[in-house]
Chains A and B, each alone.
Chain A
């Protein structure tokens, strides 16, 4: 239904006076006219931009190094000025777009300098440099895209560069020795420690939210890796990853201590504890053995249970639904793994139904004891 018909209908229902309907209609027409001019201006700028890029590309070889570098510098300065003006005038959306463009221009300039001075590529070194240059830009952004790109770029490029050092290779072997996903867990631990140590006043920042998102992605990735691949089993191993376990245990204690000191929930510590425990256990048994299939199944459910518990406590219904949906999906996969045939799966489902009812009963009992519920009941 178009707007005119809607307005006529609302007038009939006496929700609107004819005067108000007229005002709405004229406002919407004016807005549409503005949209059209924005589209035309945008299209025009796009064609001019593409044309300029094509012209520069066609004459690239004939442009001297000095002019190339000068133009790159000028573009950077113009972009920085644009960001600053947008910041002063409070044009947030344009400021965010320009910040992204600025970060891209920095990367392009690094590439240009490398080409002009014939610098030799060394893996992802250019991205490490880019990440370092972009650190001061992170607090300037009030939206997540820049930090969302920055975090994985920084981590991947730094790990790649460190991986070229012999001391780091020895460390990689040590931490991953008989400990499934050891290096991934170590990096994740470092991230959770940083995340936990961030002071309260900085928690509203966009980069903090991006870090939160990447932590969830990191934990999920390691959980999926452990669930699907179950580490690697080395029958000849003598130490069974105990030295790595010791380091991880110390990091876990540090994480719990920081969380306690910062007066925040132990959610990350609990999630990491589950990952650590199951990673260690999975490593002790043969891959894809029945016990490891069960362990990986219990691990995923335990992680999701932690998420569900905190989602409930923090009253986040969407997260509750997501965690519950994922639990259901993992249970379904578990049945197919365990029972194989359809009839056995059917019996399994019936039994699970009863198990869920019992769990629900226990859950309600626990929830009734929680301080939030008590408070709500008192208020009611």
Chain B
């Protein structure tokens, strides 16, 4: 039979670790140095996988000057990124990325030594995707 305090410590330990992990991710996302990686749809015909957009880095369009020594560290990044999008906006965003050549998508990372590269945002034409969608969607509606 475990003692009361040992029992309590065992019980709350997962909560403490989860809390620490969340704060660590949150601070890494806020404080890290910003890196912008231009991305395109992994499969142009089908960008969606459930609620996720499948994106792949476009190294030719990415500014390698933002990295140390001016070289793109391709090995530090994944070949496919999954970006969570709410269901109601996912299809619209997929259509926009598929059909419009004027829209450039970029994943913004925050980087620090502890957490590595943490995704901060998805930007469309240098705007957070929610803002871009709101602005352009409203414009489209007005034109109609």
A residues with a Cβ closer than 8 A to B are 60-61, 69, 73, 76-77, 80, 83-84, 87-88, 102, 106, 109-110, 113, 115, 117-121, 133-134, 136-137, 139-140
Contact = CB atoms under 8 A, between A and B. Distances in A.
Given A61-B87, A87-B7, A118 B119 contact: yes
A120 B55 CA distance: 12
A84 B22 contact: no
Contact size range, B? 20 to 34
B82 A83 contact: no
24 contacts: A60-B86, A61-B86, A69-B22, A76-B14, A77-B15, A80-B11, A80-B12, A106-B18, A110-B18, A113-B18, A113-B22, A117-B25, A118-B84, A120-B81, A121-B82, A133-B13, A133-B14, A133-B18, A134-B14, A136-B10, A136-B11, A137-B10, A140-B2, A140-B11
B89 to A, nearest CB: 8
B83 A118 contact: yes
Given A133-B18, A140-B2, A117 B29 contact: yes
Contacts, number: 68
Contact of B13 (A115, A119, A136): A136
B14 A136 contact: yes
Contacts of B61: none
A118 B83 CA distance: 6
Contacts of B10: 136-137, 139-140
A119 B29 CA distance: 11
Contact of A113 (B9, B14, B25, B86): B25
B139 interface: no
A132 to B, nearest CB: 8
Contacts of B29: 117
A88 B1 CA distance: 12
A106 B2 CA distance: 22
Interface in B1-38: 2, 4, 7-15, 17-19, 21-22, 25-26, 29
A71 to B, nearest CB: 13
B18 A76 contact: yes
A209 B17 CA distance: 28
A84 B14 CA distance: 14
B111 to A, nearest CB: 14
B132 to A, nearest CB: 17
B88 interface: yes
A19 to B, nearest CB: 42
